[in-house]
Chains A and B, each alone.
Chain A
């Protein structure tokens, strides 16, 4: 980590005595200023009216000290904005990422741009964490669907995550439709019994339309080589970041060590005969490998890759770029600008939604 110039620190200190503390994690003045402002606002909002300014200043110092050690702001403030929602956060559960926000929003917009949407949609979100994806999806879809029956089910291996997800459901009620069917279940997606159970649930009457997941995708190598931020490494749950599965032990393969969940997710998608498959990935390289896995199975009509900002760039601003050199040498369509962020696959019948 490069040293901060002394002159900058001096300037910061002159502005506010606690700014240099925040600098340790923020690394630039505008960010540090913003975080100081948000921490102060938080203290004022949560302080008891009787507390004297000295208590509040002490509290501000404490929070800045925590932040200086790398504790995520979202854990300190207890929340993270996600779309129009406020997602409650706590240590032990992965903090929602802006990239996930963007891809979820883009998915919703893509679905909505292809009317008419059926009144009943079944969405399964695996490794749901705070439940941010189901909640955001629901909030974005229901306003455009008359008499919506949007059934969204979120799964996570962590009981702590599921309890937080239920709190988030409650916390964001006003963004949800009264008829919303949003549920959370603690389960291990590698468990055969769980898969049989959820397969039995969907029956001849209905099938899961969409399977979406933001699974742990960081390879052990990438976790340790400095590309994963200190704050993430030291404060967020590793189980949500680096995949470990019952059948594979941590592999040293520098690149593919983060791929372990995708075969299982594709297997589940197959078993459940899901129409649309959306997974978040670490980067373009991983996206291409996942595209390869999708094509290998032969069950999917189409597949494409979304970058961080799926609506930006491309010819004529349409956000379309066709990129050569998918894993098996064929082209794969890539939409948007930024890093490779999501792989989207669809079965026959859904092509109109994505290719239109």
Chain B
């Protein structure tokens, strides 16, 4: 998610907002926790469904159907992706999602997904605490413009940003 933050020239804060990883002191799961290896799925177990609309194709149509649907035959899990315009890219994304879902099914709370979610939750809690502190101080001292297009509160966007942080 991209957004532009407009600052009055007099603010001391930099244009780009840096995501600071705060060291987490409580709980066994920290940002430094080693995630287990990604699960590699056997190609033979994956079926790709080719989603094609009815009607003519080829030169007669120029609408791109880039959706990819993968099914893991042993578990019956189905994953669909149309995140990008590229079918090959969507295939990669769908494969990753499929692997994650299979692992979730198999490993439950010890899966990569569960551990990642826990790490993110802690980082967000810490990040939003810091953001609130920062912007409370800002609002006390100066006016800050709100991005008209997004129309959301600056603080909420900071929290969104924390949520976006990759693990």
Contact code string B36-67 (vs A, CB < 8 Å = 1, else 0): 00000000000000101001111111111110
Residues of A within 8 A of B85 (CB): 38, 77, 80-81
B58 and A84 contacting across the interface, CB-CB below 8 Å: no
Residues of B within 8 A of A216 (CB): 59
**A350 interface hit (Cβ, 8 Å):** no
- Which secondary structure dominates chain A's binding surface? mixed
B2 and A97 contacting across the interface, CB-CB below 8 Å: no
**B147 interface hit (Cβ, 8 Å):** yes
B59 and A217 contacting across the interface, CB-CB below 8 Å: yes
A232 and B50 contacting across the interface, CB-CB below 8 Å: no
Measured in the bound complex, the distance between the Cα atoms of B59 and A99 in whole Å is 9
Measured in the bound complex, the distance between the Cα atoms of B56 and A74 in whole Å is 19
Residues of A within 8 A of B147 (CB): 53
Contact code string B77-89 (vs A, CB < 8 Å = 1, else 0): 0000010111111
**B148 interface hit (Cβ, 8 Å):** yes
Measured in the bound complex, the distance between the Cα atoms of B85 and A227 in whole Å is 24
Contact code string B130-167 (vs A, CB < 8 Å = 1, else 0): 00000000000000000111100000000000000000
B60 and A227 contacting across the interface, CB-CB below 8 Å: yes
Chain B nearest CB, measured from A231 CB (Å): 6
- Which secondary structure dominates chain B's binding surface? loop
**B28 interface hit (Cβ, 8 Å):** no
Chain A, Cβ-Cβ closest to B50? A309
Chain B nearest CB, measured from A87 CB (Å): 11
A312 and B50 contacting across the interface, CB-CB below 8 Å: yes
B86 and A44 contacting across the interface, CB-CB below 8 Å: no
Measured in the bound complex, the distance between the Cα atoms of B150 and A81 in whole Å is 29
**A280 interface hit (Cβ, 8 Å):** yes
Question: Which bucket holds chain A's interface residue count?
Answer: 35 or more
B84 and A228 contacting across the interface, CB-CB below 8 Å: no
Partner of A232, one of B6, B62, B87, B149: B62
**B4 interface hit (Cβ, 8 Å):** yes
Measured in the bound complex, the distance between the Cα atoms of B149 and A15 in whole Å is 15
Measured in the bound complex, the distance between the Cα atoms of B86 and A53 in whole Å is 28
**A259 interface hit (Cβ, 8 Å):** no
**A94 interface hit (Cβ, 8 Å):** yes
CB within 8 Å of A: which B71-119 residues: 82, 84-89
A282 and B59 contacting across the interface, CB-CB below 8 Å: yes
A81 and B60 contacting across the interface, CB-CB below 8 Å: no
Measured in the bound complex, the distance between the Cα atoms of B61 and A53 in whole Å is 34
Measured in the bound complex, the distance between the Cα atoms of B55 and A339 in whole Å is 9
A98 and B148 contacting across the interface, CB-CB below 8 Å: no
Measured in the bound complex, the distance between the Cα atoms of B14 and A318 in whole Å is 59
What are 20 contact pairs spanning A and B, CB under 8 A? Answer: A53-B4, A53-B147, A54-B148, A54-B149, A57-B149, A72-B62, A81-B66, A81-B89, A95-B62, A216-B59, A227-B56, A228-B60, A231-B62, A240-B59, A282-B60, A283-B56, A308-B52, A308-B57, A312-B50, A338-B50
